[in-house]
Homo-oligomer: A and B are copies of this chain.
């Protein structure tokens, strides 16, 4: 089969790098369709173990430098995993909701943080970046294979499906400081687009929450704000 650059409408995506590919083989071997090795690859114990996992799961291992030229032209990358994209559904009660996220790296970092704080379900409101973009996969450091991620066309669609979730909207013009919030479950922690934040009307159907900061900045970075919120909402689970 012809190797093609990643496209949003392709049924396959790629893990660029050995560690990431190994993480996928551990978590979701059933999704993996091929593993490409560069001819410059150094066969360490870890690599041999990975090849053994492929053999056990009947996954084809192909040495092809062409795959690296096409899929990872700029990167220092010697192993690529190809996998079937999986479209999952929200499964647990607590959710992260990202409204129109636009940056693949940010999305991956938020996924990594959410997996770290065991909020394993993310709703994404379109228009939005592609969760299967290799840049997102890479920034998630493989955490994406632990997550349930579901797209919705509008916030209304999400709210109709989860009417009982307590919806906390993180925005600058908010009624509550995160330090004083009374945490109720099941919760939805809702964050806006990197540049524009959440529309003002979210206060109408959410508890609006602000992470207060000095006037020296306009806002916190989205991944940092989401990280602080997830930490604050889950810290009683991780305190000791």
Contact = CB atoms under 8 A, between A and B. Distances in A.
B116 A214 contact: yes
Given A113-B221, A217-B112, A240 B177 contact: yes
Contacts of A208: none
Interface string A220-231: 110111011001
Given A143-B217, A214-B117, A227-B220, A238 B112 contact: no
B223 A116 contact: no
A239 interface: yes
Nearest to A19: B218
Interface residues of A, number: 33
Q: How many copies does the complex hold?
A: 2
A220 B116 contact: yes
Nearest to A220: B116
Contacts of A118: 214, 216
Given A117-B214, A227-B220, A227-B224, A179 B235 contact: yes
Contacts of A220: 112-113, 116, 227
Given A109-B224, A113-B224, A217 B141 contact: yes
A240 B115 CA distance: 30
A177 B238 contact: yes
A180 interface: yes
Nearest 9 CB-CB pairings of A with B: A116-B213, A224-B227, A212-B238, A179-B239, A115-B216, A116-B217, A146-B216, A228-B231, A118-B214
